[in-house]
Amino acid sequence: TTDQVFEALEMIPDSQEYEDEHSVVSYGDIQKIIGKFGFRWKLEEKKVQKEKENKDVVKQPLPDLSAMKSRPPVVTIMGHVDHGKTTLLDSLRHSHVVDQEFGGITQHIGAFSVKTPTGQNITFLDTPGHAAFSAMRARGANVTDIVILVVAADDGVMKQTEQSIEFTNQANVPVIVAINKMDKPEANAEVVKNGLLKCGIQVEDLGGDVQSIPVSALKGTGLNELLDAVLVLSEILELKADYNGLVEASVIESKTHPGRGKLSTALIDRGTLKKGDVLVAGTAWCKVRGMFNDQGRPISKAEPGSAVEIIGWRELPHAGDTILQVKNEKRAHEVIQFRKSLKEDEKALEDARIIHEKMEQHRKDYHDKLEAKRSAGRRVGAIYKKERRKETETESSGPELAVVIKGDVDGSVEALLDALDTYQSDQCRLHIIHYGVGPITEHDVELAKSFNGVIYGFNVDCVGSAQSLANSSKVDVERHNIIYKLLDNIRDRLSKKLPLID
């Protein structure tokens, strides 16, 4: 789990192990630490891509136009709230149902089909408003061919009318305007048309090419004209599909029915769906057990441009997902398995991303620490230079104490130098001949000897012969591991050098 990895990160040796800010944790270290927790870190995007091509189903290329036949248009109704979208859908559904002789109860399956007086079919998606529509588009399903924009003639263009127009522009879907509530005395179609012009929609009456139809959804007037307008536009759009081959469809709606189990409504994009077909959508799969139309009537096949309710899903697919037919169940399992593993990889990549961020932070913190040390080092260097300047200026005027400072780590040396900086006085000068990290060496002893100075070591030893050299050279070596004792000693020596005041 990510938590374990974070725990592992704490195991990464602290900054001191690294030489400079470019140090990164080696892959070896990462593997060791991560392996300890049984975590596997895999970054193989290229391989995954190649596997995907072999293991997943992909959409088939479209056949040439001669192999394609016309299909019913798919229409979505949009518009401002209360302008009559639901009423329009209802009156279309009830006045023009395909299956009148069946007398079934209208089922809400997310879409329905109407038959025009000329016998052609039109499929309406009955999820008005653009929330559902945009959710579908966000999943990459461009499910609608035509948008009917409903504008109430007593209200005109409103905020959501504008949003709908913007939406159709983005989706590049052609629009037909239904000017609704024409039965109302205050209805004014001209106001609507002019309002639309301001939004870039030029209706035919005003010299444009967008059809506008006055209707009353409530009274059911103008509906045939509206359907005619849809057919005219479909003709122009030349909506065709391949009725053969493997089925491709989009999920319009998905739900669990208490009696019938997992159901989804699919809009067929190509191919003809039949009972027994095997489908995959996302990581869900289905062997089609049965199909129903919007009247709840069982049907034996579903053709492009129609919406159908499918039973037989083992898991519910998501609205907007693409449905693809596969040869058989075995293939479906393979595909699902692969898609699930991809999801896991995505999860692993996400974990890796989080770890990467954490490491970056680790690196940054280290860099900041290092930078702080460096500036401290520069400060120390400046103090030292200042000392050297003073030394040449005052040229052995008065007493001085010469010292060599050695410490175990940067931090301690730095702390000592900082403390000693405050020990300067006019009477007696503290002369820092040399300082550094590490044990006391013969070189330190020689330096101290030539300045007649004292060596201070904090938490360090003398290397090999340094101590005996110090003894023979009569150089004092003061080794301490308590900082104030070391400082006390320096203070003592300084005060002993002060001229006696009577």
**Alpha-carbon gap, residue 408 to 336, rounded angstroms:** 61
Determine, following the binding rule CB under 6 A, whether residue 320 of this chain makes contact with ligand GDP: no
Of 129 and 436, nearer to ligand GDP (C-beta) is 129
Number of residues that bind ligand GDP (CB under 6 A): 16
> Using the rule CB under 6 A, which residue among 181, 262, 270, 429 binds ligand GDP?
181
Of 214 and 320, nearer to ligand GDP (C-beta) is 214
> Using the rule CB under 6 A, which residue among 99, 183, 228, 421 binds ligand GDP?
183
Binding map of ligand GDP across residues 207-236, x = CB under 6 A, - = no contact: ---------xxx------------------
Of 70 and 87, nearer to ligand GDP (C-beta) is 87
What's the min distance (Å) between Cβ of 342 and ligand GDP? Answer: 40
- Tokens 């309710």, residue located: 309
Expressed in percent and rounded to 5, the helix, strand and coil fractions of the chain are: 40, 25, 35
Buried b (16+ CB within 10 A) or exposed e, 394-424: eeeeeebbbbbbbbbebebbbbbbeebeeee
Span of 22-30, 32-40, 179-187, 320-328 interacting with ligand GDP by CB under 6 A:
179-187
Phi-psi region of 479 (alpha: psi -120 to 50; beta: other; left: phi over 0): beta
| Tokens coding 362 | 């680790």
489 CB neighbour count, 10 Å cutoff: 15
151 CB neighbour count, 10 Å cutoff: 27
Of 60 and 87, nearer to ligand GDP (C-beta) is 87
What's the min distance (Å) between Cβ of 128 and ligand GDP? Answer: 6
What's the min distance (Å) between Cβ of 95 and ligand GDP? Answer: 13
What's the min distance (Å) between Cβ of 194 and ligand GDP? Answer: 20
Q: Shortest Cβ contact with ligand GDP: which residue?
A: 84
Determine, following the binding rule CB under 6 A, whether residue 293 of this chain makes contact with ligand GDP: no
Taking the CA atoms of 261, 264, 265 and 271 in sequence, report the sign of the dihedral they define: negative
152 and 240 Cβ atoms separated by less than 8 Å: no
Of the candidates 201, 208, 127, 141, the one whose C-alpha atom is nearest the C-alpha of residue 169 is: 201
197 and 138 Cβ atoms separated by less than 8 Å: no
Of 191 and 218, nearer to ligand GDP (C-beta) is 218
Of 128 and 453, nearer to ligand GDP (C-beta) is 128
Q: In whole angstroms, how far apart are CA 488 and each of 66, 69, 172, 493? A: 101, 100, 84, 9
CA-based angle 481:487:488, to the nearest 5? 105
What's the min distance (Å) between Cβ of 229 and ligand GDP? Answer: 17
Of 83 and 429, nearer to ligand GDP (C-beta) is 83
Of 216 and 234, nearer to ligand GDP (C-beta) is 216
**Alpha-carbon gap, residue 172 to 430, rounded angstroms:** 83
Of 218 and 359, nearer to ligand GDP (C-beta) is 218
> Using the rule CB under 6 A, which residue among 180, 234, 293, 295 binds ligand GDP?
180
DSSP code string of 336-369: HHHHHHHHHHHHHHHHHHHHHHHHHHHHHHHHHH
What's the min distance (Å) between Cβ of 6 and ligand GDP? Answer: 50
| Tokens coding 188 | 């004014």
Of 127 and 144, nearer to ligand GDP (C-beta) is 127
Of 129 and 377, nearer to ligand GDP (C-beta) is 129
Count, in order, helices (H) and strands (E) of the chain.
13, 21
What's the min distance (Å) between Cβ of 178 and ligand GDP? Answer: 10
Span of 52-60, 75-83, 258-266, 409-417 interacting with ligand GDP by CB under 6 A:
75-83
| Helix or strand (DSSP H, E) at 379 | helix 329-394
Of 184 and 358, nearer to ligand GDP (C-beta) is 184
Determine, following the binding rule CB under 6 A, whether residue 82 of this chain makes contact with ligand GDP: yes
Buried b (16+ CB within 10 A) or exposed e, 195-217: bbbeeebebeeeeeebbbbbbbb
Q: What backbone phi and psi angles, to 5 degrees, belong to 333?
A: -60, -45
| Rg (alpha carbons) of the chain, rounded to whole number | 42
Distance of CA 79 to the CA centre of its chain: 32
Binding map of ligand GDP across residues 19-58, x = CB under 6 A, - = no contact: ----------------------------------------
Of 72 and 79, nearer to ligand GDP (C-beta) is 79
Query: Which parts of 85-124 interact with ligand GDP (CB under 6 A)?
Result: 85-87
What's the min distance (Å) between Cβ of 358 and ligand GDP? Answer: 49
Using CB under 6 A, list all residues that contact ligand GDP. Answer: 79, 81-87, 128, 180-181, 183-184, 216-218
